Amino acid sequence: MTIKTETTEGVARIEIARPEKKNALTVAMYQQMADAIAAAHEAPTVRAIVIHGQADIFTAGNDLEDFMKNPPTGMDAPVFRFMLALGMAEKPVVAAVNGAAVGIGTTLLAHCDLAYCADNAMFSMPFVSLGLCAEFGSSLLVPLAAGYHKAAEKLLLGEPMSAEEALEMKLVNRILPPNEVLDYAIKQARRFNNLPPTSVRETKRLMKAGWKSVTEKIIADEAQTFARMLKSAEAKEAFSAFFERRKPDFTQFS
Ligand code: COA
């Protein structure tokens, strides 16, 4: 079981549980996470959702092998189903990040309501170095949170971010010791048990309403561009280099 789910005291937990592959996300895992969000949405007793990995890893992002074999072809692909379910979730979503949060692992934080990370967390959005482009609204939401120039270092140059930098860039709310992050995220999520659920949902909707339609447009553009670039020679070189454990050579491209 690579995605584990458990609901206790009004909180639906979604654990990415494939530590032997650094929680790299396959199509099947996206499907399970999308289903888990839908189930949490349907369950009247669930007030909030928590997404997490283990003490030393959140996720290495897309499983590169699986992604090349099963590239997303349209908006009904599992990765879209998951990100759309997350982006449109009416109930609050809390992320607890330990260790690496690569690619979609960082992108998804922009769609969560609250995000807590460990001091061992390391974030990155290496889409350009993979011959790809930003995804799921990150080309809008990251500059919006952090400012254009800071976002350019992270999205164009693919520079990694420490926990402190992620806090400064407003991608997370708070940094905690690694063994406290999940408990704290769950504690915060449980606070929604004592709040009026309609007020929470409506306030969340209103907070996102200002940039909802522009986010949807950007996501569609990113999706088309990403799908096209996934088939490119630049991406092939980047992906082969990862599995051959060598540096990619982009000097051949113009
Ligand atoms: N896709 C597929 N497999 C992955 C993976 C990914 N995104 N990330 C890690 N793995 C696999 C490795 O191939 C390795 O498998 P093996 O033991 O069968 O050889 C295993 O997970 C452990 O990874 P490793 O790189 O040895 O761990 P690490 O602790 O040294 O580094 C990361 C952890 C996350 C920093 C590193 O694995 C990494 O950079 N992964 C790629 C991230 C990436 O580019 N993601 C795509 C974003 S779109």
What is the 3 CA–ligand 1 centroid distance (Å)?
A: 18
Interatomic CA distance for residues 151 and 247, integer angstroms: 24
Residue 63 has pLDDT above 90, yes or no: yes
Nearest-CA residue for atom 36 of ligand 1: 60
Provide the pLDDT for residue 72.
Answer: 85
Determine how many CB atoms are found less than 10 A away from the CB of residue 34.
Answer: 20
| Binding site membership of 146 for ligand 1 (Cβ less than 6 Å) | no
Tokens 């860039």 correspond to 169
Nearest-CA residue for atom 15 of ligand 1: 21
Handedness of CA 185, 186, 192, 197 (dihedral sign): positive
Region of poorest pLDDT, from 50-64, 74-88, 120-134, 148-162: 74-88
| Binding site membership of 24 for ligand 1 (Cβ less than 6 Å) | yes
Mean predicted lDDT score pLDDT of the chain = 96
Report which ligand 1 atom has the smallest distance to the Cα of 100: 34
| Binding site membership of 21 for ligand 1 (Cβ less than 6 Å) | yes
Residue 43 has pLDDT above 90, yes or no: yes
| Strand-pair partners of 8 | 11
Cα distances from 189 to residues 101, 105, 106, 139, 143, in angstroms, run 21, 19, 20, 28, 27
In percent, the amount of the chain with pLDDT more than 90 equals 93
What is the 60 CA–ligand 1 centroid distance (Å)?
A: 6
Tell me the average pLDDT across 177-182. 97
CA dihedral 52, 53, 54, 57 (to 10 degrees): -120
Interatomic CA distance for residues 51 and 12, integer angstroms: 9
Residue 1 has pLDDT above 90, yes or no: no
**N-terminal to C-terminal alpha carbon distance within the chain:** 43
Provide the pLDDT for residue 67.
Answer: 87
Provide the pLDDT for residue 164.
Answer: 98
Provide the pLDDT for residue 76.
Answer: 85
Residue 71 has pLDDT above 90, yes or no: no
Residue of 22, 120, 136 to mutate, ligand 1, most atoms within 8 A of C-beta: 22
| Binding site membership of 126 for ligand 1 (Cβ less than 6 Å) | yes
Interatomic CA distance for residues 112 and 193, integer angstroms: 18
Residue 73 has pLDDT above 90, yes or no: no
Query: For residue range 79-105, what is the model confidence (pLDDT) as tens digits?
Result: 999 999 999 999 999 999 999 999 999
Provide the pLDDT for residue 68.
Answer: 83
Query: For residue range 209-242, what is the model confidence (pLDDT) as tens digits?
Result: 999 999 999 999 999 999 899 889 999 999 999 9
In percent, the amount of the chain with pLDDT more than 70 equals 100
Sheet holding 11-16, edge to edge: 3-8, 11-16, 48-52, 93-97, 114-118, 174-176
Provide the pLDDT for residue 199.
Answer: 98
pTM: 0.95
Provide the pLDDT for residue 74.
Answer: 78
| Binding site membership of 64 for ligand 1 (Cβ less than 6 Å) | yes
What is the 62 CA–ligand 1 centroid distance (Å)?
A: 10
Nearest-CA residue for atom 30 of ligand 1: 22
Provide the pLDDT for residue 232.
Answer: 94
Nearest-CA residue for atom 22 of ligand 1: 21
Report which ligand 1 atom has the smallest distance to the Cα of 64: 1
